[in-house]
Amino acid sequence: MENAFIYTDAYLDYDYGPTHPLKIIRLKLTYELIQAYGLLPLPSVQLLIPQKADDETLALFHSREYLNTLREASEGRIRDAYPNGLGPGDNPVFKGLYDWSLLVTGATLQACDFVADGKGAIAFNIAGGLHHAQRSRASGFCYVNDPVIGILKLLERGKRVAYIDIDAHHADGVQAAFYETDQVLTISLHESGRTLYPGTGFEDEIGTGRGEGYSVNIPFLPFTDDETYLWAFDEIVPPLIDGFRPDVIVTQLGVDTFYNDPLAKLNVSISGYEKIIRRMKALAPRWVALGGGGYDVSNVARAWTLAWAVMNGVELSDPLPEDYIGKEARLGIYERELRGASKPPRYSPMEVVRKETERVVEYIKKTVFPKVRDTGTPQE
């Protein structure tokens, strides 16, 4: 069974700006490190070049008025007022932002088609996972919500979909899209909205109407470490996936959970991240993997290379390949090992973190677990 990796250097035609934390170069660095480890010429791997999505496909989720605004902004036709969340700050207006969104979403759609067509078991779009975009508003560096659009296309094809998001920031856009339906199970593990953008994703956000119980949130206190994170994952995610029985699992694999990420305050290590990826692989009958957050570019390259290795059953050596060291040296990060041995700082009493996580897990077990039977259908 083949796996697909989706990438193009055309991603580098777009730029959020020199001071923006989302650096598109991280995609190139990831691709180069994967190449350096020999993870693309594997006989079980296809390299797919993304094709842009079309306007009609984006309109499956986004309003046409909003898409028109994005197009006008992308072409420089909006100069004064910036509506719909666009403007200086998180969601800057830059040349080609609409084409960037079409390209990223097209790559996610290719990943979904690859697994839905039975061409392979796993497809990885590292540029995807822009999970904050709302129907008519840009949010959190995200203009078009490619996970939502990909899931909607999978639903059109009769697939049952579970979505698992391990970004440090709550998957609010994806949750909003499916909050009232039982056709998609959304699970988001993230830093608490009390301390981090977007200020949502509390454990009592469990869906409404037919969707009650199909929206699941595990908010973590700052400085949650590998042990507590993995414990919560194991207590909640596998039982829900076993009960829901999806045909496809879509995941957002943000690496801003790492202890040295500049925009969040969780304490996950790269070895802890690897264990999460291995758990996802074991759970997924078919797997669409998307990128996501991560604002230390070295972390992103190492983590997504490691994830791709796990997806393909390859064990990586710890030292970076020699022909990659020069590229890392120019970034001033060549001295770090792939898996990282540094222990995260413990600024918060870990017993407090663990106790709060146990409370959240117990709440989910009492309120969410009873909503889904073993057949994956909602309770009558």
Assess whether 132 carries a catalytic annotation: yes
Lowest mean pLDDT of 28-37, 81-90, 251-260, 261-270, name the range: 81-90
pLDDT(34) > 90: yes
Lowest mean pLDDT of 228-242, 273-287, 291-305, 364-378, name the range: 364-378
Structure confidence by residue, pLDDT tens digits, 342-380: 444 555 578 899 999 999 999 999 999 998 753 344 333
Percent of the chain at pLDDT exceeding 90: 83
- Whether the bond between 378 and the residue before it is cis, its omega within 30 degrees of 0, is no
Alpha helices in the chain (DSSP H): 25-36, 55-58, 64-74, 97-116, 146-156, 172-177, 226-244, 270-283, 297-311, 322-330, 350-367
Phi first, then psi, for residue 93 (nearest 5°) are -90, 120
Superfamily (CATH) of domain 2-371: Histone deacetylase domain (3.40.800.20)
Average pLDDT in the chain = 91
Of the listed 20, 62, 131, 132, which one is catalytic? 132
Structure confidence by residue, pLDDT tens digits, 35-52: 999 999 999 999 999 999
How do the domains of the chain map onto residue ranges? Answer: 2-371
Distance in Å from the first CA to the final CA of the chain? 38
Give pLDDT, residue 375.
Answer: 36
Structure confidence by residue, pLDDT tens digits, 216-233: 999 999 999 999 999 999
Structure confidence by residue, pLDDT tens digits, 56-95: 999 999 999 999 999 999 998 876 667 899 998 999 999 9
Q: How confident is the model at residue 323 (pLDDT cuts 50, 70, 90)?
A: low
Distances (CA, A) of 306 to 25, 156, 277: 18, 32, 9
Give pLDDT, residue 348.
Answer: 55
Lowest mean pLDDT of 66-80, 100-114, 241-255, 297-311, name the range: 66-80
